[in-house]
Amino acid sequence: MKYQIQGETLPVVICELEAGEKMITEGGAMSWMSPNMKMETTSNGGIGKAFGRAFSGEKMFQNIYTAQGGPGMIAFASSFPGSIRAFEVSPGQDMIFQKSAFLASEEGVQLSMHFRKKLGSGLFGGEGFIMQKISGQGIVFAEFDGHVIEYDLQPGQQIVIDTGHLAAMSATCKMDIQSVPGVKNMLFGGEGLFNTVITGPGKVWLQTMPISNVAGALRPYIPTGN
């Protein structure tokens, strides 16, 4: 499979497949394709895994597209102004994504739930208690909100992140939630009560425009019903 990511504000990934190659995506993610791409809707691993995907922000069923009779083409576009990134996963090189980040992948990639280990992470992490774990073998495409900044953390090195800005991280990273120090800072600082702390080793990808922040900025301008 060969691919190219085009576009800036509203990107799309265009995948060129050899005969027999397959792509997996959630329903509704396909934007355009060649006529020889065959679609099959499946639970892809049984009803248990389907429910797991639903809890992680994706749809229960997935679509598998196969190039039949020769090379094929299929494109997946982002659903929100932001970025599409490609990641290569392999055994022992798992990835953790924010909820709903999964866009599409090669056939050998598995998507499952990832529970944050500490209760505080679930209550105050901003993107929900459940994240997405990406494992298996192959290339996976993820969509993030806004531009993406990447950091490579050394063992024990930390970065403090405002709620919602965590887009993805290596599974080797650890995540914790810390309260903002000082009562005055918590009440009047305008930055919320908690921050997410990521500890290396591993890579972390941060997004500049979380959709939750966009919703909060627009809320005062949306008329309310009487």
How far does CA 207 lie from the centroid of its chain? 11
CATH of the domain at 189: 3.60.160.10
If one counts every other C-beta atom within 10 angstroms of the C-beta of residue 193, the result is: 13
Cα 31 from Cα 36, distance rounded (Å) = 15
In a domain, residue 179? The reply is yes
Q: How many domains does the chain have?
A: 1
In-domain check, residue 224: no
Q: What is the pLDDT of residues 20-49, one digit of tens each?
A: 999 999 877 899 999 999 999 986 554 445
Structural domain contains residue 223 = no
Say if residues 66 and 22 touch (Cβ distance below 8 Å): yes
Residue 226 lies in a domain: no
Task: Give the list of residues 6+ apart from residue 208 with CB closer than 8 angstroms, or none.
Answer: 145, 146, 147, 148, 149, 165
- Residue 118 above 70 pLDDT? no
Q: Please classify residue 60 by burial: count the beta carbons closer than 10 Å to its beta carbon, then call 0-12 exposed, 13-18 middle and 19+ buried.
A: middle
Domain limits for position 182: 2-218
**Would you say residue 190 lies in a domain?**
yes
Q: What separation in angstroms does the CA of 206 have from each of 36, 55, 189?
A: 37, 22, 22
pLDDT mean across residues, the chain? 82
pLDDT tens for 99-114 read: 889 999 999 999 888 7
pLDDT of residue 192: 52
* 140 lies in some domain: yes
Reported as a single tens digit per residue, the pLDDT across 39-97 is 999 865 544 454 444 444 445 678 999 999 999 999 999 888 999 999 999 999 999 99
Residue 67 belongs to some domain of the structure: yes
- Global pTM value: 0.81
Mean pLDDT of 176-194: 58
